[in-house]
Chains A and B, each alone.
Chain A
Amino acid sequence: MKKTDENIENWFGNLKKGQPFRVPESYFETFADRLKVRIEEEEQPNKKRSLFIYLKPILMMAASFVLVMLLVSVPIKKFFPSGKGYIAQRQLNTDSIDSASLIPATLISYFSEGQFLSAVSDVKELESDTLSTDNLADYIAANYSEYDIIANN
């Protein structure tokens, strides 16, 4: 190792051993003051930053909600172009089917034939695709005798 030290002394003999670098003017004279300012800055709580930290979870939740809404609404709009109208139409159809099927047979006995037919014809108008006059006649023939009909008139 001693040889290495001697070697380097010979090899770098021509070199000035001092620093080849320099610093900006008055750098060391002003360093302590600049450092003091930076330490003071570090020790002061940053209000803007802390406010953001408090709001961060709320902002993230709002952003997630918007994202979920987008993920739901975009495919709906794409696959059901009529959107709300389509759903309303489906709702109407379901309601009309339900109202027809939910007419209780016992209630028919309290109506006159004319009232009954006019009520049924209203439903029929709504559901012309699903219920014909023949279907209705078949239904009455199957469930009520002529006596029942005449007696109630």
Chain B
Amino acid sequence: MESEKQNIIQLRASIMDLNEKELIANLKSDGNKEKAFQVLVKTYQERLYWHIRKIVMNHDDTDDILQNVYIKVWKNVDGFREDSSLFTWLFRIATNESLSHLQKQRRHSIVSMNEISDYLTDSLESDVYFDGDEIQKKLQLAIIQLPEKQRIVFNMKYFDEIKYEEMSEILQTSVGALKASFHFAVKKIEEFLKEERK
């Protein structure tokens, strides 16, 4: 029974792999590029959106960044070397674009790391699209206090449940370092929430 389940999983993975290869081939061909791109957008837009949103918090910034990510893909797909999966490639672009956006904010306002968390807190406080309850808001405020890398790792692991191996490819960091980042992030969030309870 267990081996049958394994076989089904492997079969699904190979079908997905086949589909992805076909999708990449179509993205690189002039005749099918537009249709294939529509499929790519529809397939990954939600996952990418939430990944970006958790880094920059604000909906409008997320919308801009998500569009920039897809424009980059549209322009550079011919150069995609297929060393990694499309999912990994897209997430890597999305992560880099989000971090660049925060860097720009930092340069623009000549602010330090602490002030970036202030900027994100303001974004969260003024976000009309935040639907969470008090506990969720406290958790988000705790996450905002984390250093950039720990914040991304925590979100990817806790909310998106991405495997460390996949995360390692996206963030180009070793699995060990990612585990350590997650461990420290959890400790800091615990401390932050304890302080809040007092």
Contacts and interface: CB of A to CB of B under 8 A. Distances in A.
Contact of A32 (B45, B53, B137, B140): B45
Interface centre among B63, B136, B159 (most CB of A within 10 A): B136
Contacts of B140: 20
Interface stretch (A33-41, A106-114, A116-124): A33-41
Interface string B124-138: 000101111101110
Interface stretch (A4-12, A60-68, A95-103, A131-139): A4-12
Interface residues of A, number: 25
B68 to A, nearest CB: 9
A4 B38 CA distance: 41
A1 B127 CA distance: 34
A47 interface: no
Interface string A18-59: 011111100110011011001100100000000000000000
B182 interface: yes
A15 B45 contact: no
B15 interface: no
A4 B164 CA distance: 15
Contacts of A78: none
A17 B155 CA distance: 11
A14 interface: yes
B135 A14 contact: yes
Given A24-B59, A32-B45, A8 B129 contact: no
Nearest to A32: B41
A21 B130 contact: yes
Nearest to A31: B45
Interface centre among A8, A16, A20 (most CB of B within 10 A): A20
Interface string B43-82: 0011001100100000100010011001100100000000
A32 B130 contact: no
- When A and B form their complex, which 8 residue pairs have the shortest distance between CB atoms, in order from nearest? A20-B132, A20-B136, A22-B131, A32-B41, A4-B183, A8-B186, A22-B129, A1-B179
23 contacts: A1-B179, A4-B186, A7-B186, A11-B190, A14-B135, A15-B136, A19-B159, A20-B133, A20-B136, A20-B140, A21-B59, A21-B130, A24-B59, A28-B46, A28-B49, A31-B41, A31-B66, A32-B41, A32-B45, A34-B67, A35-B41, A35-B71, A42-B71
Given A17-B159, A20-B140, A38-B71, 18 more contacts: A1-B182, A4-B182, A7-B190, A8-B186, A11-B190, A16-B133, A20-B136, A21-B50, A21-B129, A21-B130, A22-B129, A23-B49, A24-B129, A28-B45, A28-B46, A32-B38, A32-B41, A39-B70
